[in-house]
């Protein structure tokens, strides 16, 4: 964590000899001070055909140009390397739309982190399918949109959500225990931009009422999973997971209560990784440069 401004360059490409040298050479030739850098080569089970992942933080004022020019100058190298890449500026705050239902734990947790500038983001609005938290959200100076989702109005509601997200120029949607399923085309329109917190240690207990499922099976730990939303329910790339110990004396209600603590912690960590461009997705799996 730096008070100073920096650019984050991240991406992946087919592995070959010399990638670090070429990318770091490009930065060094321009005087760029690399504050942090991480690399990973994934060769699966073989030795060839691997994929290379990287993330670098470069001190902004060590470079003689700004982001736009960085992009122009870096593009030819990225093309030679067939790299999927992006660069972001730590001084430009991400715009995160939070979606909730009637449970408060994730909402309070996110707003506390936002209030303390631990999450240094803009929250252009909160969207909810219940009106419960309107004044709480508005107390924070954040607009609140109540978009009820009823069977007969589901399509209209989802269209309205998409419209709001576009209108506020959101980068990321966080489903902070938003209990509705987003339609496939919505998920496909924003790949790697919608983050969900699921209240089980996936792949155990997919779908509804995971704590009831856990109770029935008699497991000794319960968990939560933060993942990108894809059209396949609870099957998207996993960003972060954690568990907590339970025992025979815990009822389903107790599990729900413990689970909330894990849910908000896992969501906060996963969201942070996402916001800091620490997550690189490949083939339904994630590389997380912590």
Could you give the residue numbers annotated as active site? 234
In this structure, are residues 130 and 176 in contact, taking their beta carbons and an 8 Å threshold?
no
169 binds a copy of itself, rule: CB under 8 A: no
Out of 27, 161, 176, 229, name the contact with a copy of itself by CB under 8 A.
27
| Whole-number Cα distances in Å, 179 to 30, 54, 100, 182 | 49, 35, 8, 10
> Which residues between 46 and 105 bind a copy of itself (CB under 8 A)?
47, 53, 62, 103-105
Distant-in-sequence contacts of 161-166, Cβ < 8 A, 24+ apart: 161/99, 161/127, 161/186, 162/186, 162/189, 164/97, 164/125, 164/127, 165/97, 165/190
Q: Which is nearer to a copy of itself, 161 or 195 (CB)?
A: 195
Q: Which is nearer to a copy of itself, 91 or 251 (CB)?
A: 251
User: Of the listed pieces 81-89, 92-100, 164-172, 254-262, which binds a copy of itself according to CB under 8 A?
Assistant: 254-262
What binding mask, one character per residue, do residues 223-242 give for a copy of itself by CB under 8 A, x or -?
Answer: x-------------xx-xxx
User: Of the listed pieces 80-88, 121-129, 154-162, 257-265, which binds a copy of itself according to CB under 8 A?
Assistant: 257-265
Cα separation, 236 vs 184, whole angstroms: 12
Tell the burial category of 163 from Cβ atoms under 10 Å away from its Cβ (0-12, 13-18, 19+): exposed
Q: Which is nearer to a copy of itself, 43 or 66 (CB)?
A: 43
Q: Compute how many residues bind a copy of itself; rule: CB under 8 A.
A: 78
Out of 77, 108, 144, 183, name the contact with a copy of itself by CB under 8 A.
108
Q: Which is nearer to a copy of itself, 25 or 207 (CB)?
A: 25
36 Cβ neighbours under 8 A, 6+ residues apart: 55, 56, 57
Q: How far is the CB of 91 from a copy of itself (least distance, A)?
A: 17
144 binds a copy of itself, rule: CB under 8 A: no
| Whole-number Cα distances in Å, 113 to 45, 119, 251, 271 | 40, 5, 30, 11
Out of 116, 141, 150, 208, name the contact with a copy of itself by CB under 8 A.
116
């Amino acid at each position: 964590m730096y008070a100073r401004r920096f650019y984050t360059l991240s991406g992946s490409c087919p592995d070959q000899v010399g990638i670090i040298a070429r990318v770091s050479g490009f930065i060094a030739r321009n005087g760029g001070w690399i504050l942090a850098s991480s690399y990973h080569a994934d060769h699966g089970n073989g030795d060839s055909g691997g994929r290379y992942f990287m993330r670098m933080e470069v001190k902004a004022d060590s470079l003689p140009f700004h982001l736009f020019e960085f992009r122009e100058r870096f593009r030819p190298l990225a093309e030679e390397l067939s790299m999927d890449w992006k660069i972001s500026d730590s001084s430009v705050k991400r715009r995160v739309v939070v979606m909730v239902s009637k449970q408060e734990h994730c909402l309070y947790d996110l707003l506390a982190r936002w209030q303390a500038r631990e999450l240094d983001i803009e929250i252009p609005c909160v969207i909810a399918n219940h009106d419960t938290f309107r004044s709480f959200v508005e107390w924070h100076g954040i607009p609140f949109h109540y978009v009820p989702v009823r069977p007969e109005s589901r399509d209209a509601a989802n269209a309205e959500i998409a419209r709001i997200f576009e209108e506020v120029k959101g980068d990321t949607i966080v489903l902070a225990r938003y209990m509705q399923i987003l339609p496939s085309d919505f998920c496909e329109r924003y790949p790697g931009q919608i983050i969900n917190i699921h209240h089980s240690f996936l792949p155990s207990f997919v779908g509804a009422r995971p704590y009831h499922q856990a109770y029935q099976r008699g497991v000794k730990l319960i968990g939560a999973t933060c993942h990108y939303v894809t059209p396949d329910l609870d099957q998207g790339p996993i960003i972060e997971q954690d568990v907590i110990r339970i025992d025979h004396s815990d009822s389903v209600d107790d599990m729900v209560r413990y689970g909330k603590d894990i849910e908000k912690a896992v969501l906060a960590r996963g969201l942070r990784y996402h916001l800091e461009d620490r997550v690189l997705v490949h083939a339904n799996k994630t590389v997380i440069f912590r």
